[in-house]
Structure formats: C-alpha cells, structure tokens
Amino acid sequence: MLYRHNTKATHDFSAPPETLFAAIQSQNLTPTDKHAIGTFLSLKPFWGTPGEVGYQMLARINWGSADLEMTETILATDPPRTYRISQITAALTLCRHSMPLAKLSTQCKSRLMADFIIIGGGVAGTSAGAYLSQLGKVQLLEAETNLAYHASGRSAALFEESYGKPSTVALNAASRSYHVENKLLSPRGLMLAGSHDTAEAFENESIQMGLDLMSGAEAKAMVPILNTDVIDRAGYHADAWDLDTDLLIQSYVKTIRAHGGTVTTKAPVTAIEKTANGWKVTTNSETYEGAILVNAAGPWVDQIARMAGIAPIGFTALRRSMGRIPAPGGHDVSSWPMIFGAGEAWYAKPDAGALIVSPAEEDPMEPHDAFVDDMVLAEGMARYEACVTEPVTRLLASWAGFRTFSPDRTLVLGREPSDESFIWCAGQGGYGMQSSPAAGQLLADLLNGKTPAIDAGAVAALSPKRFR
C-alpha cells in the first residue's frame, strides 16, 4: 500500500500534533491504495523505550466492505522517508512515503508524552517515581543540577520507626523491609537524655518511642562525655539505624530507569496547564505532556499547586540547621547512639568519625536554598554543651534544610479531590527519608486501584481529602 501525498510537503515537527495533523490533512496526505482510500484519524506524540521518540498515526482504510484501522509509528531515529509499521490489522503490506522526517529527531523533543509527570527530584519524587514507573511511563523533573540538592541531601539520615504521628509510624514500619532488603541500614541506637528541668518532655518522649529507662551513670557508660550533673535520666533502644540516603535515592532512580522512565535535572517547572488529556508542563527548555501530575516539590508544593490552578493546602517550611564538630575529646564516637536532648532541644549523631549537632530548631520561612543562621546554631551548640563534659572547639562544616509540614504535621499522599489527575506527595516533615518506600508504594496502590498495604485509618489520615 502506498500513500498518496504531496512529495514537496514539509512539516514542522516541533508543532503540536493537532497542528501537524491539520497540515497533513490540508495537504491531502490520504492513505490510499488502488483498491481503497481512507482517512487519517489522529496523530499523537509517541514515546517508546528510552530514546524511541516520534509520532504515532492512526488511519482508517476502507477496504472493500471492511473498515480497517491501522497504526503507524514514525520514530525520530527512522531513516528519513520511511514509516515503520508497528501494527496493521489486516494483510496490508509495508508502505513507504516521502514525508520529510529529517528534522524530527531534534524537534519532536519539544512534545514528550508520559503517564506520570513528577515535579521534584528529592526523596519524595524519586520514591514516587520508582513505584509509579511500574504502572506507566514516568518523567521526573528536577529544577537543580543534582537530585537531592535540598532537604533530601541534608538530613540526619536516621531510621527510627516510632518517630512521628501514628500514620507516619505506619509508613515507617511498612518501609523497613525495603531498607533491609536493599542493605540501607546499619546499627546506630537512640538515646534520650533528660534532666530535672525536662522531666515532662522526657517522660512523654520515652513512652512514645518505647525506650528502656536507664540512670545518668548507665547512659555515661555508653556515651562517656555526658555530664551527669545535668543528665540524670536517660532512655535507650537499639532499634534505630543509620540510613544510607545516597544509596536510597540511587535505588529509586535505578528502578525508574529500569522501567523506561526518565529523570531530567536542570528542569525548573515554570508553567503548568490543564489539557484535555491531562497536563502540559513547561520547563525552561521543554514542554512535557502527561496524564497524571505528581506534586513532590518539597517546600514548594503549594507554589506548584497554584501554578496548576489547584488550591494550596498551607504547607510550612521549617528550617533546621546542622553543624559538624570534631569527635569530642578525641573519643572514638563510631559506636555511640544518636542522642536527643529531651524536648528536642538539640541532637547529636556520630558521622564519619565526627559528630553532627543540631539545634533542632523549627523556624518557619519562605522556601529557598536554606542556610544556617549562625546565632541559632551557636545557641543550639550551647544547649548541647551544657549536657556534656567536652567543649565544642571548632566547627568543621554547617548546613541547613527545610522540614516541610502540612497544617496537621502529617504527610499528604493521594489524589486532589478537586482534580483526581493531580497527586499530592508532600509534607514529609522530618521523616521523608525513612518513610519514602511505603509512601511511594501507597501512591502506586491508590492510583492502581489496589487496597493499600497500610491500614485504612492511616490512608485516610494521609489523604488530601482531610483539607478539602
């Protein structure tokens, strides 16, 4: 079968498919045969395995008394002038045509089609991508040059299952097997250090985390720098783990790519438009189309919602700072647990032979590339110093990041009630790393119509519906 066509026709493949399709029709590019004539029905962007991009064209051929539909895929990599026939519903033979395709390889990139467009390349976006890539084609867009540039690259990297509200704890618990199977955990332990002045907070927190109580002296045997003149009570459990957060993000990205998804950095989303089939998302250099939009933009999630015409939920970005200091008094800190001052007044954690100490502040601010407030860090260091016998001699490094909370401090995972093709993956607070496998799985279950692994009460507590 041959196509009758205007051999001199040229087409702008950077144009939207509708425009291109109109051009094809106006130039009488009619699928035809000496026995049959037909009509082009549609032309859509096509995205196959990685690198396979082009257009897919649907035509109906009136063959005798039968109407036969056929689909042809024109790939950017196809030699100019050749259609690759991907599927023909009857014994139609290979065709050739002379539509100029030479420019397609570069220009068709401006219209990329995905099932899921995910905005945000932190742990929220990459974990969602890993699970959603098993349901359809994922396109993840990250504004920065590197993934995990913001909060996801600045955490304390702890897995503590009991940390957070019940729905967060449910996610933490359901995430454990992923971390274990991927060898992401190594032993750390957690100690809560209290004093007469922090008695009430100490009691609440030790019950919430299920800690075994010990005296100040027993705690000092474990962490020899504790000042027992101040720290007169402690709680401990071994079930708290260092989480390899770099490897965690890499594992998600590997899964996205293994399922044919794409991760694009240096792609700040600047505009979002609702279309008949889903969403059109514009970055500084490209336009992407997708059926479902996943908002995983960390502290910027409300901004993304506004861009998409969705009402914001009212997230708050709370800065938390961190300073790395040399091992106090030259001690080998490697086996020390992570230590929390009761009431989250400060915390300290061994880190590659040194100690990271945080003032554990929660200062609300507009989202930006967070940095340390020197005074806040100094005050936090002073609270830590008051509980230990070794002074802070110098600072090796310092950084800050945002912990982003919804109004009820619980994650927001699921479909936006006013537009079910808009998905919230937001408000990970101080638990985003450890809870990410179950959060990603939950989103995939909800979008796939499966009963989630975590209980229905937790699913409801995490749902965006509670704010609408």
Residues making contact with ligand FAD (CB under 6 A): 119-125, 141-144, 148-152, 154-158, 268-269, 296-298, 300, 320, 322, 401-403, 428-434
| H or E segment and range at residue 385 | helix 374-385
Taking the C-alpha atoms of residue 335 and residue 324, their distance in angstroms, rounded to an integer, is 17
* Least distance between ligand FAD and beta carbon 170 (Å): 14
Q: CB-based contacts of 261: which residues, under 8 Å, 6+ apart?
A: 114, 129, 133, 137, 138, 139, 140
Q: CB-based contacts of 197: which residues, under 8 Å, 6+ apart?
A: none
Q: CB-based contacts of 284: which residues, under 8 Å, 6+ apart?
A: 266, 267, 268, 270
Helix (H, G, I), strand (E, B), or coil: what is residue 362?
coil
Q: CB nearer to ligand FAD: give 74 or 297.
A: 297
* Least distance between ligand FAD and beta carbon 333 (Å): 17
* Least distance between ligand FAD and beta carbon 319 (Å): 8
Tell me how crowded residue 420 is: count the other CB atoms within 10 A of its CB.
11
Helix (H, G, I), strand (E, B), or coil: what is residue 116?
strand
* Least distance between ligand FAD and beta carbon 361 (Å): 10
Q: CB nearer to ligand FAD: give 47 or 340.
A: 340
Q: CB nearer to ligand FAD: give 17 or 261.
A: 261
CA dihedral (162, 446, 123, 403) positive or negative: negative
Q: CB nearer to ligand FAD: give 143 or 184.
A: 143
The identity of residue 400, as a single letter, is A
CA neighbours closer than 13 Å in the CB half-sphere of residue 112: 29
Q: CB nearer to ligand FAD: give 142 or 351.
A: 142
* Least distance between ligand FAD and beta carbon 258 (Å): 21
* Least distance between ligand FAD and beta carbon 440 (Å): 11
* Least distance between ligand FAD and beta carbon 433 (Å): 3
* Least distance between ligand FAD and beta carbon 152 (Å): 3
Nearest C-alpha neighbor of 117 from the set 101, 98, 93, 133 = 133
CA 148-153-158 angle, to 5 degrees, is 125
Q: CB-based contacts of 467: which residues, under 8 Å, 6+ apart?
A: 313, 314, 406, 407, 412
Q: CB nearer to ligand FAD: give 150 or 233.
A: 150
Pairing state between β 397-405 and 316-325:
antiparallel
* Least distance between ligand FAD and beta carbon 455 (Å): 21
Is 75 within 8 Å of 57 (Cβ atoms)? Answer: no
Is 151 within 8 Å of 301 (Cβ atoms)? Answer: no
Nearest C-alpha neighbor of 440 from the set 244, 181, 256, 180 = 256
CA 269-272-273 angle, to 5 degrees, is 160
Q: CB nearer to ligand FAD: give 202 or 315.
A: 315
* Least distance between ligand FAD and beta carbon 145 (Å): 10
Q: CB nearer to ligand FAD: give 111 or 320.
A: 320
Taking the C-alpha atoms of residue 122 and residue 143, their distance in angstroms, rounded to an integer, is 10
Question: Within its chain, how far is the Cα of 272 from the centroid?
Answer: 18
243: β partners: 185
CA dihedral (274, 267, 121, 13) positive or negative: positive
Q: CB nearer to ligand FAD: give 11 or 179.
A: 179
* Least distance between ligand FAD and beta carbon 417 (Å): 21
Q: CB nearer to ligand FAD: give 88 or 272.
A: 272
Taking the C-alpha atoms of residue 169 and residue 351, their distance in angstroms, rounded to an integer, is 25
Q: CB nearer to ligand FAD: give 343 or 432.
A: 432
